[in-house]
């Protein structure tokens, strides 16, 4: 039985999408804050790009949630500004969060396929591919940054 036929499965899928929506919104804000902290223009530009890309992902996820008749959370928990971390450490944490997102999209893809939500599959796959690119950008920045610079 597909998600649309089972309320429990539908709610479980919506719960995963909502969690991903919150995560994407938080990552967007974190990237924006990191861009402000970056010393070099090219780093600020890349981080601002990532911030906007994560915000676009959140909007796409919102559309998927609404397509299933759900609602996105009204409030997003604020991100914690790491004043005790340098940019390298903050981006390392973001890299790990993006890595987790990448694998969560595989789980969502599997759920969508199992439940017959075939129109969700290309969207979720594109989000997964985008997350791979985001991770590569973060990895590039991490390789260029000095981990000991405050």
pLDDT tens-digit readout, 40-89: 899 999 999 999 999 999 999 999 999 999 999 999 988 876 666 788 88
Distance CA 40, CA 20 (A): 30
Distance CA 136, CA 141 (A): 9
Q: Does pLDDT of 6 surpass 90?
A: no
Rg of the chain over Cα atoms, rounded to whole angstroms, equals 17
Of 68-77, 93-102, 111-120, 122-131, minimum mean pLDDT range:
93-102
* pLDDT tens, position by position, 78-96: 887 666 678 888 899 889 8
The residue assigned the tokens 């959140």 is 58
Ordered structural domains, the chain, with CATH: 3-144 (1.20.1260.10)
pLDDT value, residue 39: 87
Beta strands in 21-147 (DSSP E): none
Angle between helices 41-67 and 121-144 (to 10 degrees): 160
Neighbours of 69 (CB within 10 A): 9
From 32, 59, 56, select the one nearest 46 (Cα to Cα). 32
């Amino acid at each position: 039985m597909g998600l649309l036929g089972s309320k429990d499965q539908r709610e479980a899928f919506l719960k995963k999408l909502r969690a991903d929506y919150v995560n994407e919104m938080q990552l967007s804000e974190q990237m924006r804050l990191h861009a402000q902290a970056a010393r070099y223009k090219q780093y600020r530009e890349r981080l601002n790009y990532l911030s906007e890309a994560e915000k676009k992902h959140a909007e796409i996820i919102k559309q998927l949630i609404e397509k299933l008749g759900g609602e996105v959370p009204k409030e997003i928990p604020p991100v914690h500004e790491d004043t005790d971390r340098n940019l390298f450490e903050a981006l390392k944490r973001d890299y790990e969060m993006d890595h987790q997102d990448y694998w969560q999209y595989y789980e969502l893809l599997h759920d969508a396929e199992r439940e017959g939500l075939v129109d969700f599959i290309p969207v979720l796959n594109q989000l997964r591919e985008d997350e791979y690119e985001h991770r590569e950008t973060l990895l590039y920045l991490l390789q260029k940054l000095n981990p000991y610079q405050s």
